[in-house]
């Protein structure tokens, strides 16, 4: 393959026109090209007076060695998994979020047929429950933004970026494309799918897993684990069903609090970990676009994004899960709590931009010594937000100017809140810890130096954002196994991922560990 990088393009081109330009510049005959693909597309907006696209492409051509000023690269050979699994008992995957789905997919692609147990509903039915909650405030605690097929990421921006640098990321992108994601996710610098696409993609993944021999149990919650001699022997479900197994991939997500409590009761080792809490902030997307792109360019650029961090004397503050042209979505999974998140459709064509603005929390901030103290810390904030919002699933909101001045908001300015089923003008200082409030004000004012207007007095803060990552980590060894033989803590809930991409990668890793590593067979 020929690899050509750093291709600067200052106009909007179709893919065909892009390659025509490349062929002309490098004197490549179109008839000699066997295969071509874009491998990267990013926007360079550092100079607002000269914004351009930066492309990389790969070509397979006749007589490649005769083409000048290009790099010759070898295609990566597919990684082979040497399957050592001897057990004939079906493995169980608990949870059908990104980690669970990719674990199940990897198993069936290698001839092992798992049972996937999901407490929520199929994604298309789950969407009806989410829509009902947003419309009426009627919460289904088993089927909502946190629980159900596809996991919490299904009702988000569908970001596929990650801080991890793992070859499996490429496999995840390819699988998403295979199941219906837009082709651009394979090469765009900051890929996203959008909640509208994710619903169909998740359904397609499920159907493929079933086609290859996997089994799904929806509306079925794992409520107990039969552990004998430090080995998993069965899982027990809410319906009374007992499923014998010697292998459980535990992909329960970061909101499965009662499952964490059951695992702790059963002696599964876990520990407290750092996480973050804060608010969702909303601005006009037009303001973000102007700040990031300026007003000169004629390019048809997508809604602009941002990612910023502030390091204060005592605490750090950062933006998280920024949703261009999106909405703030009600993400409660327990009665009488308020939890927020952000969501965008693929087009990102809403009026507002939103992101979480979060402050780091450490185990030193918790009251007790239990590994579950972070969960209790989160829940206390969520219950306070519920009461402050009016005890009806309306979220408490506040203008930034009022938040800074520690006074209840009495009006909504130029930026209109998007949270449904409704909002209540409030003073978020009444429920957030003082160190969180102080750092949020410092951070938002600091971010205004990079994005003029970020500290707009009318910027809307919606409380509370508490579920950015798991408050616990279930310990595991180098083979991905916990202190209980056959139990594989996996994904975001277990503390090994943060977002769709890293959760999917961890799901693949745990499935590979099940396939590759042998252990003595035992009778349940």
CA-closest candidate to residue 293, choices 52, 21, 1: 52
Domains, the chain, with CATH or none? 2-72 (3.30.70.2700), 92-271+471-516 (3.50.50.60), 274-465 (no CATH)
Contact 411, 467 (CB under 8 A): no
Confidence of residue 111 (pLDDT cuts 50, 70, 90): very high
Residue 521, pLDDT above cutoff 60: no
Residue 223, pLDDT above cutoff 70: yes
Cα separation, 245 vs 113, in Å, equals 12
Contact 272, 373 (CB under 8 A): yes
Contact 484, 230 (CB under 8 A): yes
Residue 311, pLDDT above cutoff 60: yes
What is the reported pLDDT for 293?
97
Longest dimension (CA), the chain: 72
Given strand 115-117, what is the order of strands in its sheet? 215-217, 115-117, 92-94, 248-250, 487-489
pTM of the model: 0.95
What is the reported pLDDT for 519?
54
What is the reported pLDDT for 81?
84
Residue 383, pLDDT above cutoff 70: yes
What b/e readout covers 401-424, taking b as 16+ CB neighbours within 10 angstroms? ebbbeeebbeeeeebebbbbbbbb
CA-closest candidate to residue 155, choices 281, 303, 282, 321: 321
Residue 409, pLDDT above cutoff 80: yes
What is the reported pLDDT for 63?
83
Reduce the DSSP state of residue 512 to 3 states and report it: helix
What is the reported pLDDT for 518?
62
Contact 242, 236 (CB under 8 A): yes
Average pLDDT on 377-393 reads 98
Q: Which sign, positive or negative, has the C-alpha torsion 376, 378, 384, 386?
A: negative
* R_g of the chain, CA atoms, integer Å: 24
Confidence of residue 65 (pLDDT cuts 50, 70, 90): confident
Residue 82, pLDDT above cutoff 90: no
pLDDT tens-digit map of 137-164: 999 999 999 999 999 999 999 999 888 8
pLDDT tens-digit map of 443-476: 999 999 999 999 999 999 999 999 999 999 999 9
pLDDT tens-digit map of 481-506: 999 999 999 999 999 999 999 999 99
Residue 335, pLDDT above cutoff 50: yes
């Amino acid at each position: 393959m020929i690899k050509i990088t750093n291709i600067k393009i200052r106009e909007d081109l179709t893919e065909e026109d892009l390659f025509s330009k490349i062929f002309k510049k490098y004197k490549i005959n179109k008839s000699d090209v066997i295969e071509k693909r874009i491998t990267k597309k990013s926007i360079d907006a550092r100079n607002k007076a000269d914004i351009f696209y930066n492309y990389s492409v790969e070509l397979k051509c006749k007589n490649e060695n005769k083409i000048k000023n290009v790099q010759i690269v070898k295609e990566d050979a597919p990684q082979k998994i040497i399957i050592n699994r001897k057990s004939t008992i079906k493995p169980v995957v608990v949870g059908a979020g990104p980690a669970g789905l990719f674990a199940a997919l990897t198993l069936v692609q290698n001839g092992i047929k798992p049972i996937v147990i999901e407490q929520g509903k199929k994604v298309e039915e789950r969407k009806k429950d989410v829509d009902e909650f947003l419309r009426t405030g009627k919460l289904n605690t088993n089927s909502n933004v946190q629980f159900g097929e596809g996991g919490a990421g299904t009702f988000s921006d569908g970001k596929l970026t990650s801080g991890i640098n793992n070859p499996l990321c490429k496999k995840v992108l390819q699988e998403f494309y295979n199941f219906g994601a837009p082709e651009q996710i394979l090469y765009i610098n900051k890929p996203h799918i959008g909640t509208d696409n994710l619903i169909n993609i998740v359904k397609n993944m499920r159907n493929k897993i079933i086609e290859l021999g996997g089994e799904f149990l929806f509306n079925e919650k794992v409520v107990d684990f039969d552990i004998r001699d430090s080995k998993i022997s069965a899982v027990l479900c809410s319906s009374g069903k007992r499923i014998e197994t010697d292998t459980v991939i535990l992909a329960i997500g970061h909101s499965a609090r009662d499952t964490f409590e059951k695992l702790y009761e059963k002696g599964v080792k876990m520990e407290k970990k750092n996480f973050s809490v804060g608010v969702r902030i909303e601005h006009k997307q037009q303001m973000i676009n102007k700040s990031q792109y300026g007003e000169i360019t004629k390019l048809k650029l997508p809604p602009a994004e941002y990612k910023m961090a502030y390091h204060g004397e005592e605490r750090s503050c950062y933006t998280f899960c920024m949703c261009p042209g999106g909405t703030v979505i009600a993400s409660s999974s327990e009665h009488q709590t308020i939890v927020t998140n952000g969501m965008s459709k693929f087009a990102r064509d809403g009026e507002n931009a939103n992101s979480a603005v979060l402050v780091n929390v450490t185990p030193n901030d918790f009251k007790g010594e239990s590994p579950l103290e972070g969960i209790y810390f989160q829940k206390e904030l969520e219950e306070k937000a519920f009461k402050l919002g009016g005890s009806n699933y309306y979220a408490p909101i506040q203008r930034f100017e009022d938040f800074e001045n520690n006074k209840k908001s009495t009006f909504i300015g130029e930026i209109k809140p998007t949270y449904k089923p409704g909002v209540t003008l409030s003073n978020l200082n009444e429920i957030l810890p003082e160190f969180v409030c102080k750092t949020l004000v410092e951070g938002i004012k600091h971010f205004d130096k990079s994005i003029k207007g970020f500290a707009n007095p009318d910027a809307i803060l919606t409380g509370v954002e508490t579920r950015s990552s798991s408050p616990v980590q279930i310990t595991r060894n180098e083979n991905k196994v916990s202190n209980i033989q056959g139990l594989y803590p996996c994904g975001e809930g277990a503390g090994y991922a943060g977002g769709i991409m890293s959760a999917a990668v961890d799901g693949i890793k745990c499935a590979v560990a099940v396939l590759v590593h042998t252990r003595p067979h035992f009778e349940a």
